[in-house]
Amino acid sequence: MLQALVILGHPRPGSLNHAIADAVREELASIGCVVSYHDLYAERFDPILPAKEIPKGAEVPADIRTHCEQLADAELIVVVHPNWWGQPPALLKGWIDRVVRPGVAYAFREGDLGEGVPIGLLKAQAAIVFNTSNTPPPRELEAFGDPLEALWWNCVFRLCGVKRFRRKTYGVVVTSSAEQRESWILDARQIVREEFGRASGLRS
């Protein structure tokens, strides 16, 4: 069975982000994935990276080690978070800092002290990021470009060896109807099914 990792970064229980994450988990389980799931706010994940954890091979707390192991084992990765100022919540950025570690997600060639391009170590066939936003997409692109695309694909997943990436933003949330939100949740389920099928095909 495919191993999947689902990460949720939203502080309010009952949010659309929670509904999307729950639907994603259900969908992955129903199609045969073993799902590891973390609601970072509910778990009170500590986002602060201590200096002693920075070096490759550093000893990390048991909870961080679990996150690292699940990230390394995952063949599908799904992240769900709101778009806040063109960025993920700080808690989620702290998860990247502490979990997407050297020796776990990437490495440098022998003799490279960190100035080169890293070698990706993740075996994930695909990563999906679902975002929610209160900014209309045309204005988002015109005013800000697409910083979340650059962050998750260019700066994280592509460098860490992930083969394929999809990101979908749902909005405008603040003015959306219950029917619109339900359609977004169904769309997220469909995207997960599609990526599961592709990852299964590559694995066989």
For residue range 127-171, what is the model confidence (pLDDT) as tens digits? Answer: 999 999 998 877 777 878 889 999 999 999 999 999 999 999 999
The β-bridge partners of 169 are: 131
pLDDT band, very low/low/confident/very high, at 112 (cuts 50, 70, 90):
confident
Q: What is the mean pLDDT of residues 97-104?
A: 97
CATH 3.40.120.10 fits 3-203, yes or no: no
Rounded CA separation 79/92 (Å):
9
| 3-state SS class at 88 | coil
pTM of the model: 0.94
Rounded CA separation 27/65 (Å):
26
pLDDT band, very low/low/confident/very high, at 12 (cuts 50, 70, 90):
very high
Check pLDDT > 90 for residue 196: no
H or E element that contains 80? strand 76-82
Contact 192, 128 (CB under 8 A): yes
The DSSP bridge pattern shows strands 119-120 and 76-82 to be unpaired
Q: How many CB atoms lie within 10 A of CB 131?
A: 21
